[in-house]
Each structure stands twice: as C-alpha cells, then as structure tokens.
Amino acid sequence: MATVKKVSAIKNSPQHLLGIQNLSIIEAKRILTEAKSFIKLNRGSSKKLDILRGKTQINLFFEPSTRTQSSFDLAGKRLGADVMTMNMGNSALKKGETLIDTAMTLNAMHPDIIVIRHQDSGAPNLLSQKVNCTVINAGDGRREHPTQALLDALTIINRKGNIEGLKIAICGDILHSRVARSNIYLMNMLGAEVNVIAPKTLMPKGIDNLGVKSFTDMKKGLDGCDIVMMLRLQNERMQGSFLPSKREYYEFFGLTPEKIKFAKKDTLLMHPGPMNRGVEIDTKLADDINVSLVKEQVELGVAVRMACLKLYCK
Ligand code: NCD
C-alpha cells in the first residue's frame, strides 16, 4: 500500500461540494493543490491509499455517465473507501419512490459520502439537507458540475502553468450546459478572461452578468484565445427546435482546423466528453495530440475527485 501524509478535511468549510458558485478561492486552490499530489500516484504502479479506509461512499447516478461515474468510483477505491455505485435504472425509483425517500433509505445505512448526478437542478442541495453525510455534486441539470470545472482548471494549470491572464473560449450549447456555468465561475475566479460563443438560441439571457463576453460568431469569439472548450449539444434537455440542422450547426459552430486558426497559434482544445464528432468538433482535431487535451482531462479527473473526496469527507 502506498503512503501519503495525513491531511485533515477542509477546515471551516461547508461539508458539501454542491457547486463552484459558493466555493471560496481558498477552497478551490486547496482542492487543486491536493489534486496535483495525486497525479503522480495515479501514474505509478501502487495506487492504493488508506486515507478513507472504513468510510462508505455511495455513487447515485440518475443520468447516464461514463467518465464522471467511473472516475468517482476509482477515486474512492484508490483512497481505500468502500464504494457502492447504484444503477438508478434498477432502483425503487422505478416503483415510484421519491428522491428524498431513496435518500432517507440510504442514509439509514450510514454512508459517509454520497456522490449524486441528477437531471434536476438543485437535487444535490435538497439531498444535502436530508442526509447527515457529505454530498458531492456530480452534475445537476443545467446548473453546475463542479468537479468537471476543477479538473478542467487542473488540466490547464498542468499545461500552461497558470490560469490568471489567460483568455478562454467556451463554445456550443451554453444554455443547457452545467459544465459551462461551473467553468465560467471557476475560470473567472482564477483570473481568466472568458468568452462564450453560441448561436442566439443557445445563449442564455443575461449571460454577460456572469462576467463573460458573449459572441455569436466563432471568428470574433476565438480571437486571441489560449484555450478553446467545446461543448456537446445537450439534446436531452431541449424541448422544441433550437437549431435548423446539425449540418448547419457544424458549419457555423463546429470546431474545424480552419476555425481553430482564429484563436492563438498555440491554443489548446478541451472537451468534457462525450464528443459528437462532426457535430461540434472535427474528428481529426479531436484526436490531434498536439492540440487536444481531452485524454489529459479524463486522466486528471481521477486526481481531482480523489482530492474532493479526501477534503470533504469528515
Ligand atoms: C458532461 C455532463 O454530463 O455534464 N459530461 C461529463 O460529465 N463528462 C457534458 C455532457 O454531457 O455533454
């Protein structure tokens, strides 16, 4: 078993990680510093620690997930926790049980941490009021996805050294994206300038009040950017027609080798996944290791989630 110094949970901080909006810059930096120490461990041959030995972590995923669910699973196991991932498709919810009844049932089994992904904005906040363990938000509706923003920040810091002073473009379905919202809060907090780019129908009203510049034109929005974050069209959250066609969307908002030239010469490309190749991104560009940080984002996601579990679990 590998060893690591014993560090206490974040002091004087809330017990739950529900979003970036209510996170202090001190907490955000503490998580990022802690996560850095796990990158090396995860690349080594002995990855197991006993920091959370004796603790029980329940992952409750009400929406499909590949990256987030598997990395929370691995993160808990690498810290020595007993991890149970519940497939909510098979749960009593199918029999009409409410989220709160499910939460009370699980709470009676004395978990120490519940990681929740839910289609309703605010579900993790509600849960945190009903249980007496740590709650970590793994994505709620279109509201927040704090650990995604934190892993994006760590990936940028790993490559560029710092976030302060960078110009970051977030491009695509801003309206329905919790990843966009959490990244806007975090990148602003860490001193970046943020541009958002989307067709008018996918741009939330009042977005400029979040401290970003908004563009409906890729050329203008990407100008001078160090980082380009692409987002998937969140079709599952769309009711009605937001776009004429996917082909037209790709033509105007898909990131291609031609359009990425509007950004800085050494710009780097990010995407939270899952990618829809040929819809928001050119397939060769997505795999170009000189430009794309997509695999690094997935790798560092485990380190960030280990840091969150360690720091928030009391
Ligand atoms: C994102 C999500 O679920 O919000 N994916 C992820 O967590 N890696 C983005 C998306 O689904 O498009």
Buried b (16+ CB within 10 A) or exposed e, 54-92: ebbbbbbbbbebebbbebbbbbbbbbbbebebbebeeee
Q: How far apart are CA 144 and CA 109, in angstroms?
A: 28
**What's the rounded mean pLDDT across residues 126-152?**
96
Mean pLDDT of the chain: 93
CA–CA dist 256, 246 (Å, integer): 15
CA distance 88 to 86: 6
Residues with CB under 6 A from ligand 1: 67-68, 139, 145, 148, 178-179, 232, 272-273
Which residue shows structure tokens 């769309």? 238
Q: What is the CA radius of gyration of the chain?
A: 19
Distance from residue 170's CA to the centre of ligand 1 (Å): 14
The single residue listed with the structure tokens 């605010």 is: 122
Query: Would you say how long the chain is, in residues?
Result: 314
Instruction: Map residue 217 onto helix, strand or coil.
Output: coil
C-alpha–C-alpha distance, residues 260 and 104, integer Å: 49
Greatest CA span in the chain, whole angstroms? 56
**What is the C-alpha to C-alpha distance for residues 29 and 237, in angstroms, rounded to an integer?**
32
Atom of ligand 1 nearest to the CA of 117: 3
Task: Answer whether 269's CB lies under 8 Å from 292's CB.
Answer: yes
Segment 236-245 long-range contacts (CB within 8 Å, at least 24 positions apart): 237/141, 237/142, 237/176, 238/176, 242/175, 242/199, 242/201, 242/202, 243/199, 243/201, 243/202
Residue-level pLDDT at 245: 86
Query: What pTM value is reported for the model?
Result: 0.94
5 Cα: distance to centroid of ligand 1 (angstroms): 33
Over residues 249-277, the pLDDT tens digits come to 999 999 999 999 999 999 999 999 999 99
Q: Give tens-digit pLDDT for 195-244.
A: 999 999 999 999 999 999 999 999 999 999 999 999 999 888 887 778 77
- Distance of alpha carbon 214 from alpha carbon 172, whole angstroms: 12
- Which one of 61, 66, 68 would you pick to mutate in the ligand 1 pocket, going by the greatest count of ligand atoms within 8 A of its CB? 68
Q: What is the DSSP secondary structure assignment for residue 44, as one 8-state letter? A: S
